[in-house]
Amino acid sequence: VFNIVDIIDACPYIRPVELSGAAQAAGERLSREVIVEAYLRIVEGQGNDGVNMRRLGRELGVDATAVYRYFRDKDEILAMAAARLLREVTRDLPGTGGWRERLRALLLSLRRVYFAHPNALLALQLVAPMLDEGYENVDLALALLRESGLPEEEIPVVFEALETYTIGGTVFDARATPESLERWRRVYSGMPADRFPNLASTGRRLYTDADKAFRCGLDLLLDAIEAKAHATRMDER
Amino acid sequence: VFNIVDIIDACPYIRPVELSGAAQAAGERLSREVIVEAYLRIVEGQGNDGVNMRRLGRELGVDATAVYRYFRDKDEILAMAAARLLREVTRDLPGTGGWRERLRALLLSLRRVYFAHPNALLALQLVAPMLDEGYENVDLALALLRESGLPEEEIPVVFEALETYTIGGTVFDARATPESLERWRRVYSGMPADRFPNLASTGRRLYTDADKAFRCGLDLLLDAIEAKAHATRMDER
DNA sequence: ACCTGAACACCGTTCAAGT
DNA sequence: ACCTGAACACCGTTCAAGT
């Protein structure tokens, strides 16, 4: 059995952490918000792997170890950065329209937001904070799946499939570089045509546009969900 | 313009690396094969993150730095381990049957093989070795997609979608722990029902079986591919 | 020809000392 | 109350020295 204390304890950064105005005025240089913003700023400039604690301290004009008064460890900073980014996912989404186009826009927005921050996303996977806001997108995805007419018992597992595809695919695509993709094309297209005819013929046409491939798979998934929901509705009559 | 030297240079471990019998008899304790096998053995025992160079040296009964005579760096060991695992993917696959069930079996096999070795798989993503064997599964996947009747121009992008789903999803699922999944269930199901009705009602039923969710998404993708291939065939008449 | 081991650079993190 | 900085543990890796 678990209680709220476990949850709070597992996610210290959801405690009331906002420093009061008074405390700010008292001259503190750091806060959780400031640290997370510095982290995101560095990623934007240096890239996803360009962040270490010393670099973060430098960005904040503070000793590298000062942030340990605000976060338990580095992963907690990343997870809070991811939670911060979560809030942006549902921003600028169409509030009206069919379930399919809204779900599509939602998952593409998730990919867009996290593509530049795969490490933060991976940290979030293992931490699961209790948030006041940020999970609107998850609730909405479930709501839209319900709206599709899919049988109730399939909703959790279909949701998971969509989530895995979106997050897994985004993290994976974000790791690739133009060079690594070109290398794969070269290797595949250079394989002996007698033993690997399909690689030899198709290798050159692979990995030209990761976003296009992602949208292709997403649309296939939505096609199948729509068809299955339609079949369910027919059965019910 | 690239030539074979670039490729070889980028992938040193595909040079003729097998030590001759004479060299072996001369009393060498190490070889690329032996090192990769030691790596895989450690992962099997200690888990995916339990491998470091000192541990690897201990496993081999050798100083940690001795392996640098055989591999450029740690990533090269992981990539060769991944390539080694690739050969197992097409083993034990049904050689007959419809394209759909064969493609399904192939991708499930890929997931099974790499689930225990996500780090190796991630190293492979960035290295792209030229292999004598190992890419049978990729060639086969393309062949089966062709067999499905999908229009030729969609084959590369659909292949990428399937690959991204399978690899991204496997790497992502492999990172999760029973504890992290339970934490997500608790957080979601504990959200206020007025603001997050779908999380409150469905949160508990999420993440109960990652393999089932993966198969669900895979079957949805195959559903959609089949339907699209069928529609293409109708159009052509 | 092959392996050893001291050593280096670079991490995340702790904790006693400063102000 | 908050930050500093020396220090530690743990990594991947280099290179001169051993056998």
Stated length of chain B? 237
- B175: Cα separation from own chain's centroid: 13
Dihedral angle computed from the Cα positions of residues B135, A210, B181 and A142, in that order, rounded to the nearest 10 degrees: -130
Tell me which protein residue sits closest to nucleotide C11, measuring alpha carbon to C1'. A52
Among the listed residues B220, B50, B34, B141, the one whose alpha carbon sits nearest the alpha carbon of residue A221: B220
Using the Cβ of A135 and the Cβ atoms of chain B, whether some distance falls under 8 Å is answered with yes
Going by C-alpha positions, the residue among B156, B83, B79 that lies closest to residue B113 is: B83
Taking 70 as the threshold, does the pLDDT of residue B17 lie above it? no
Q: Identify the closest residue of chain A to B209 by CA–CA distance.
A: A157
Q: Chain A partners of B160 at a C-beta cutoff of 8 Å? A: 206-207, 210, 213, 216-217
CB contact under 8 A, A159 and B202: yes
Count CB atoms within 10 A of the CB of residue A199: 23
| C1’ C16 / CA A69, Å | 15
Answer whether A159 touches B (CB < 8 Å).
yes
Give the helix ranges, DSSP H, for A68-154: 74-89, 99-115, 118-127, 136-148
Q: What is the pLDDT of residues B51-83, one digit of tens each?
A: 999 999 999 999 999 999 999 999 999 999 999
Q: Which two tokens stand for residue A126?
A: 């293992």
Closest CA to A116 of A145, A158, A88, A151: A88
Question: Does residue B173 surpass a pLDDT of 60?
Answer: yes
Strand C proximal to B29 Cβ, under 7 A:
yes
Contact A113, A89 (CB under 8 A): yes
Cα A230 versus chain centre, distance: 30
Would the Cβ of B29 be found within 7 angstroms of any atom in strand D?
Answer: no
Interface touch A197/B167, C-beta < 8 Å: no
Answer whether B193 touches A (CB < 8 Å): no
Q: What is the pTM of this model?
A: 0.90
> How much is the pLDDT for A27?
55
Residues of A 52-71 whose CB lies less than 7 Å from any atom of strand D: 57, 62-66, 69
Average of pLDDT values for A111-126? 97
φ, ψ of residue A97 to 5 degrees: the values are 120, 175
Q: How close, in Å, is residue B92 to chain A by CA atoms?
A: 19
Q: Residue B89: enclosing H or E segment and its boundaries?
A: helix B74-89
Q: Residue B212 in contact with residue B129, Cβ under 8 Å?
A: no
From the Cβ of B28, is strand D under 7 Å away?
no
End-to-end CA distance of chain B: 43
**Tens digit of pLDDT for each residue in B178-237?**
999 999 999 999 999 999 999 999 999 999 999 999 999 999 999 999 999 999 999 877
